Structure 1
Amino acid sequence: MRKIIVPTFMTMDGVLQAPGGPEEDRSNGFEWGGWQFPFWDEQMNNNPGKIMATSFDLLLGRRTYEIFAAHWPYQNDAIGEIFNRINKYVVATTPIDMSWKNSILIDKDIVNELKKLKEQDGPDLMVWGSSRLMQTLLAHRLVDVLHTWTYPITLGKGKKLFEEGTQAQRWKMTDSEVSAKGVIFASYILDGEVQCGSFAPQEASEAELARRQKWQRE
């Protein structure tokens, strides 16, 4: 069975839109494209490199696929060699140019097709960018591994990793590191259901009971 792995760059307030440059994604008037650039250094190259040293295929949403297809076929570096060689599974419900070598369209019954894809033999499926696709994956509990780079900035607007519809799940941290510029890298795997408890005393005060009743009426 294949795992779905999501590596993502995000701000402290969870924004993942257009980390790499101003023209990457200006949708909804987003004006902070390239926010990742000032924090990038040699240390920041290491973790993505380790993640992509494993065997994987790409799983992409339409917009990220179009960004990648306009860039990577024209690159001769190590990442370009990998991306051009492997399969690219593309989730899209509108017409799209699929001429990039080894591209495979998923355009109907998306969730079931993704479940079938996971059940197949083959390399794991890695999702870069693709914020809309991420929402679908998180809403249907299809993500197995998260790698996050959290940058020490807040933007206040933009597409986010965890939007409304994300399912309640518990995650276990398996690795972490902080860069010299304050970027926090962390890896997580699924770790069962969310567990809750309470620090409240066993017997609530009359004031606390009154507060609860008041809030229920509001």
Structure 2
Amino acid sequence: MRKVTGGAFLSLDGVMQAPGGPTEDYTGGFDQGGWLFRFGDEGIFDTVGSLFAGEYDLLLGRRTYDIFASYWPYVEGPEAEMGQAFTRAGKHVLTRGAQTLEWENSHRLKGVDDVAALKQSDGPDLIIQGSSTIYPELLAAELIDRLVLMIFPVTLGKGKRLFGEGTPAGKLRMTDHKVTAKGTVIATYEPDGAIPRDASFPEPSTSQREQERQARMREEKW
């Protein structure tokens, strides 16, 4: 069975939109595109290199696929080798649209069931890049095996987030971590089941003021 790893560049406030450049994705009025390179941290290179070492396929949302397909097949210079590797890799695109996937070795996935079937098939492990919108449903379906989060000491205020609407509640277990010289936290997590329902909570207040506060919450007036 294939493993699915999500590798993401994040700000401290959870934004992952357009780390690569100002024109990458400015939808929603996002004006901090290219923040990864504006901040800069060579300490992440070993982690990125390890993530893409060996054989792998890419698992992408449609918008990230469009970004990659418009850039990586045409890139020259030092990044050309990565572009060639991405072209050789299988690119599995989770999309409900019918647009043509022209980049070679590209394959359409219509829904979560297709991702589950892909995981059960033979082939290299899968790496998610970008693709913020696919994380909630893949986490809910328990299809992600590992998260490698590179969390930069910067806040961006707004933008697309890794854990967006629809993200399920659940525990994560940290399996590795380090901090770069510039303060980027590189943390690796694996899903670890449901949040326990039972706990030893402190006794709630029985004061009149607390009872009034509880009543306001129930009435949505708090």
TM-score by length of 2: 0.88
Equivalent AA in structure 2 for residue 149 of structure 1 = M
Of 174, 197, 215, 2:217 maps to: 215
Of 85, 99, 103, 2:102 maps to: 99
Task: Could you tell me which runs of 5 or more consecutive residues in structure 2 were left unpaired when the two chains were aligned.
Answer: none
2:91 corresponds to which residue? 88
TM-score by length of 1: 0.89
1:53 corresponds to which residue? 53
Deviation at 1:77, TM superposition (A): 3.6
Equivalent AA in structure 2 for residue 71 of structure 1 = Y
Deviation sequence 1:80-100 (CA, Å, 0-9, x none): 232121111112223434221
Note if 1:134 corresponds to 2:135. Answer: yes
Deviation at 1:140, TM superposition (A): 2.6
Contact in 2 for aligned 1:140/1:167 (Cα 8 Å): no
2:178 corresponds to which residue? 177
Secondary structure of 2:174's counterpart equals strand
- Matches of 2:10 and 2:120 in 1, distance apart? 29
CA RMSD of aligned residues (A): 2.0
- Matches of 2:132 and 2:66 in 1, distance apart? 14
Task: Could you tell me which runs of 5 or more consecutive residues in structure 1 were left unpaired when the two chains were aligned.
Answer: none
2:26 corresponds to which residue? 26
Equivalent AA in structure 2 for residue 200 of structure 1 = P
Question: Where in structure 2 are the equivalents of 1:1-218 lying within 5 Å?
Answer: 1-75=1-75, 77-106=80-109, 108=110, 110-196=111-197, 197-201=199-203, 204-207=204-207, 210=211, 211-218=213-220
Contact in 2 for aligned 1:141/1:167 (Cα 8 Å): no
Q: For this pair of structures, how many residues does the alignment match?
A: 214
- Matches of 2:25 and 2:195 in 1, distance apart? 34
CA gap of 1:41–1:10, structure 2 versus 1, over 3 A, is: closer
Aligned-pair identity in percent equals 45
